[in-house]
Amino acid sequence: MATDQPELVSELLDGKHRALARAITKIENRTPGYRGVVSALYPHTGNADVIGITGSPGSGKSTLVDKLAKAYRDQGLTVGVIAVDPSSPFTGGAVLGDRIRMASTATDMDVFFRSMSARGSLGGLSTATADAVKALDAFGKDKIIIETVGAGQNEVDVVKTADTVAVLVPPSSGDDVQMLKAGILEIGDVFVVNKADLEGANKTVTELRNMLDLRDAEDGDWDPEIAETIAKDGTGVPELMDVFEAHTDWLDESGRREEKRHTRYAEELRTLLREDASELLEAELEARGGIDELVARIDAGETTPYEVADDVVAPVRDALGD
């Protein structure tokens, strides 16, 4: 797919931060031409390590991300951070608040920070996040960190974009540990008991270890690790980074990186096709007088939702059949 904005792509690939910011804005807003931009960036991706940080609110995710970004910069690596808020339709407040929490790297141009929100479309957020990661990857960032606000199903979908997923669990949080059974347990590669200096940390570590022992794991699977950190002063951060590195090595040596990439592309393709098909069908509904007129016919007993759906889909089905 050709892009009508070759200059934007060229400037991004040349390392211009303004172009990167413009590209991500275009991606987040799904403005015309964004697909061409993302397609042009694809050949330049695949070099960054992508880390997902999720967990319950108040578990210290932003503080930990700040310390991770600072530690990676101390190693001479460049960092991109995407803070995702699936619940908020606005980014204005989040940008300032999160930027302040990223105090250690607030003035570092080699740490690119961006808040993203659902903007009323939770389904498209994971795709927009994945596309923003591609922009950061093509820009040349060594490490890309995705931070989510919470730990619900929407966040699970978002962090699937990551190569390595860390789930933060605060101490003495029996409810939080139980919540992991709802689905996020399966996606965690590392479980981080943050604020490990607080009472209850040892109990939380034990509960997590017991839960992980009950997982159905196949031979050759990654064995999730448990790390303890005190993000506010950086305690445990180097050891956590070592775990991330070990998981990265495992992905490469086991061949799972290719498997994850294949699965990610398949899901991305399905999502794009669903979006496109939905737009085509919405246009067909409007051509038939709009949804309200069709519902009025159903209310009047003239037809049923099933018959209307068949009628609306018929032209698309016929065209694909031809």
Does residue 24 sit in the same domain as residue 112?
A: no
In 3D space, the residue among 11, 82, 87, 1 whose CA is nearest the CA of residue 39 turns out to be 1
Structure tokens belonging to residue 116:
């993203």
Over residues 172-230, the pLDDT tens digits come to 755 656 666 556 777 899 999 999 999 889 998 998 898 888 877 777 889 999 999 99
Backbone angles phi, psi at 286, to 5 degrees: -65, -40
End-of-domain residue from the set 228, 253, 278: 253
Please indicate, yes or no, if residue 262 is contained in any of the structural domains: no
CA angle centred on 290, ends 284 and 296, rounded to 5°:
130
The one-letter amino acid at 2: A
Over residues 70-95, the pLDDT tens digits come to 999 999 999 999 998 765 554 443 44
Please indicate, yes or no, if residue 259 is contained in any of the structural domains: no
Q: Which helix (H) or strand (E) holds 58?
A: none
Does residue 52 sit in the same domain as residue 30?
A: no
Structure tokens belonging to residue 180:
């992991």
**What is the number of domains present in the chain?**
3
Please indicate, yes or no, if residue 104 is contained in any of the structural domains: yes
Are 27 and 34 in contact by the 8 Å Cβ rule? The answer is: yes
What CA–CA distance (Å, rounded) separates 121 from 157? 13
Q: Which residues of the chain have pLDDT under 70?
A: 1-4, 86-103, 118-124, 150-155, 173-183
Does residue 11 sit in the same domain as residue 76?
A: no
Query: For residue 212, what is the domain's CATH number?
Result: 3.40.50.300
Structural domain including 29 reads: 1-44
Does residue 247 sit in the same domain as residue 154?
A: yes
What CA–CA distance (Å, rounded) separates 44 from 238? 29
Does residue 239 sit in the same domain as residue 124?
A: yes
Q: Which helix (H) or strand (E) holds 55?
A: strand 49-55
Does residue 162 sit in the same domain as residue 247?
A: yes
Does residue 224 sit in the same domain as residue 99?
A: yes
Does residue 182 sit in the same domain as residue 97?
A: yes
Does residue 123 sit in the same domain as residue 243?
A: yes
Return the pLDDT at 120. Answer: 43
Please indicate, yes or no, if residue 157 is contained in any of the structural domains: yes
How does strand 79-85 pair with strand 49-55? unpaired
